[in-house]
Amino acid sequence: MSPSRIFSSSGLLIVAFLIQESLVTRINFPISGFSFYIAVLIGLISFEDRSGAVVIGFIGGIILDLSPTIDAPFGQWAFVMTLIGFLFATNRESIGNFSSRPMALIALVAAGAMFSMVIFLMISALLGENDGAFSQIVIKVLGNGFWTIIFAPLIIPFLSLFHNASLTSRERR
């Protein structure tokens, strides 16, 4: 993964973070809420190889950790997203190429978004944090998965274009 792609991906993630914090959070979604940022991050990870996915996951997690409304220790999302990046890239390699199966990619992005939240909650539980009632958490995680499935078809084509544009000539070969 080239340094220029790390910078461009980080820039995209910062923009997604700003959209999430200033616009998406203001929308009252019927079932729980939607984390636009996690969807973009998982989508971005899905186009990367193992090393790229791990790096993007870490950077994305650090940006999410900067959220002023977050109550978890700084670095918790970075830990989760690094792990998710690795797991995602490893499983993607076993599933194969997604270009002919866009629905599989959408399902995997939604599953990745939900799984990242579950890991985050598990770590929170280990650290003794209170994230609310179990039923509320289940609704939140499933609601986020639902909205990710709905919105991922709009986000992923853009991320694909962005990824292709950010590849260096060496990486294209």
| Site for another protein contains 115 (CB under 8 A) | no
Helix (H) or strand (E) holding 130: none
Burial classification of residue 89, based on how many CB atoms lie within 10 Å of its CB (0-12 exposed, 13-18 middle, 19 or more buried):
buried
Least Å distance, CB 164 to another protein, is 21
| Site for another protein contains 25 (CB under 8 A) | yes
Report the candidate in 17, 37, 38, 23 with the shortest Cα–Cα distance to residue 118: 38
Of 4-12, 30-38, 99-107, 160-168, which segment contacts another protein by CB under 8 A?
Answer: 30-38
| Site for another protein contains 22 (CB under 8 A) | yes
Among 118, 127, 138, 161, contact with another protein (rule: CB under 8 A): 127
Size of the site for another protein (CB under 8 A): 60
| Cβ proximity to another protein, 131 vs 162, nearer residue | 131
Find where tokens 């990046």 sit.
Answer: 85
Of 5-13, 23-31, 95-103, 165-173, which segment contacts another protein by CB under 8 A?
Answer: 23-31
- Restricting to residues 49-88, which ones interact with another protein according to CB under 8 A? 49-51, 54-55, 57-58, 61, 64-79, 82-83, 86
Among 9, 46, 124, 166, contact with another protein (rule: CB under 8 A): 124
User: How would DSSP label each residue in 24-69?
Assistant: GGGS--SSS---HHHHHHHHHHTTS-HHHHHHHHHHHHHHHHT-TT
How far is the C-alpha of 161 from the C-alpha of 149, rounded, in Å? 19
CA within 13 Å, CB half, 28? 0
